[in-house]
Amino acid sequence: MSSSYIPAKTQTQLWALAAGRCEFSGCNKFLVGDLVAGREDGKFGFVAHIVADSENGPRGDKIRSPQLASEISNLMLMCPIHHKEIDVDHVDDYPENVLIAMKREHESRIEMVTDMDADRAAHVLRFAATIGQMDSLVSTKAIFAAMPPDRHPAERRTIDIELNSEVKDDEPSFWEMQSEHLRRQFARKVKERIEQKDILQLSVFALAPQPLLIELGTLLGDIMPVTVHQKYREPSGWKWLLHQPAINFKVGEHSGPKDVPVALKLAISATIDDQRIRSVLGANTAIWSITADEPHNDIMRRPEDLAIYKTHLRRLLDRIKAHHGEDASINVFPAVPVSVAVETGRTRMPKADLPLIIYDQSSQKGFVRTIKIGNQFKIVASKY
């Protein structure tokens, strides 16, 4: 326990730099107020020394301890549990350099978040199609942490759209039911608030089958600023991973007959063999494509790559319409990351682009038709 006097001005400065939260890595507990004890204005944090104010204390030094006793750079705000952790229970596990790194990370994060203007606040939309997927979206802490520096949460609660059904995805009614539930929940929870100017920006975190992700994208459209996040497996998380190698996209165009079935192959996270598409639509199918070198599940790591993909898709949709005419429909075969699926839907222009018939991979039947986007969102029942 500290025995030195720390000026009130220095303590106030530390509380401000830490935003009243424990600076121990991973804790972040708010240390002002206790509703259980009925003391909403109470402070329950400790001002802890990195280098003890006594040479006999934790990380103490005969010369430096008195020099640093009241220095703000040597002080951390701690909750009772972690104050005891670093000074009593496991002192050797927390040398000076480790605690300095904790302090620097915490105070830098607080500065970055509080420096954001109000116009960068975004409401958080979480979308999942099964209970298991929503479990992966439960951690609002991880989701909120993925938003800075571009956005910060507009409110502490999230907007949740969750689709659960006892009907299996190989049953004819599955896609119609899920599509209808998605549209109804979106209209009630999101669209109404957008129309009322309550929501001005959205950050989207989604885990669902690709046809539903694409349809969510069409509902979001370009009516407002939207940031779509990508879930990673390794390392697990939602935050964009900067300074990664750029994706090398390849765009394939069809220059043959016009009055034939039209397919759009989107193979970014996995390879799709053309024969699999022709086995569904016929041997004379016109296949247009956007593919990536070395596709894999975690390929989409940079927002710049997502923007480049959207540019390729926008041009390809225009080219397809110009080549095949106004009466064509585009059969979409996607193997893409979640962010790409949502942005695929957002890229489509409802009044200008051809209808999209979205296919999904079935473990038993190969590609099957699911949702048709366009012509009043008519659902195409699977024939397989």
CATH code, 202: 3.40.50
Tens digit of each residue's pLDDT (9 = 90 or more) over 309-331:
999 999 999 999 999 999 999 99
Choosing from 114, 142, 157, the residue where a domain stops is 114
Core vs surface per residue 314-331: b (16+ CB within 10 A) or e: eebbeebbebbeeebbbb
Is the per-residue pLDDT at 138 higher than 60?
Answer: no
The pLDDT score that the predictor gives to residue 1 is 47
Mean pLDDT of the region 185-197: 94
107 and 131: one domain? no
Token readout for 129 is: 């199609």
Question: How many domains does the chain contain in total?
Answer: 3
- The rounded distance, in Å, linking the Cα atoms of 266 and 342 is 13
102 and 50: one domain? yes
The pLDDT score that the predictor gives to residue 69 is 92
125 and 203: one domain? yes
Token readout for 238 is: 């939602």
Q: What angle do CA 222, 226, 230 make, to 5 degrees?
A: 125
Is the per-residue pLDDT at 40 higher than 90?
Answer: no
- The rounded distance, in Å, linking the Cα atoms of 154 and 140 is 13
> Which residues is 56 bridged to in the sheet?
none
Asked, for residue 135, whether it belongs to a domain, the answer is yes
Asked, for residue 240, whether it belongs to a domain, the answer is no
341 and 301: one domain? yes
Asked, for residue 210, whether it belongs to a domain, the answer is yes
Choosing from 114, 142, 167, the residue where a domain stops is 114
Asked, for residue 238, whether it belongs to a domain, the answer is no
Q: Beta strands 152-153 and 226-228: pairing type?
A: unpaired
- The rounded distance, in Å, linking the Cα atoms of 227 and 101 is 30
Higher confidence at residue 359 or residue 377?
359
Tens digit of each residue's pLDDT (9 = 90 or more) over 279-305:
999 999 999 999 999 999 999 999 999
Helix or strand run (H / E) with residue 47: strand 46-49
Q: Which of 348, 338, 339, 353 is nearest to 307 (CA)?
A: 339
267 and 361: one domain? yes
133 and 214: one domain? yes
Q: Count Cβ atoms within 10 A of the Cβ of residue 75 and give its class: 0-12 exposed, 13-18 middle, 19 or more buried.
A: buried
User: Cα(first)–Cα(last) distance of the chain, in Å?
Assistant: 72
- The rounded distance, in Å, linking the Cα atoms of 338 and 377 is 21
Q: What angle do CA 236, 29, 114 make, to 5 degrees?
A: 80
Choosing from 114, 135, 164, the residue where a domain stops is 114
Token readout for 85 is: 């952790």
Query: What's the whole-model pTM score?
Result: 0.74
Percent with pLDDT over 90 in the chain: 71
Asked, for residue 3, whether it belongs to a domain, the answer is no
Domain residue limits at 216: 118-228
256 and 357: one domain? yes
Mean pLDDT of the region 153-164: 89
User: Which of these ranges, 29-43, 190-204, 344-358, has the smallest mean pLDDT?
Assistant: 29-43
Core vs surface per residue 345-366: b (16+ CB within 10 A) or e: bbbbeeeebbbbbbbbbeeeee
The pLDDT score that the predictor gives to residue 136 is 55
Is the per-residue pLDDT at 143 higher than 50?
Answer: yes
123 and 103: one domain? no
128 and 86: one domain? no
Task: Let me know: does 300 contact 249? Beta carbons within 8 Å.
Answer: no
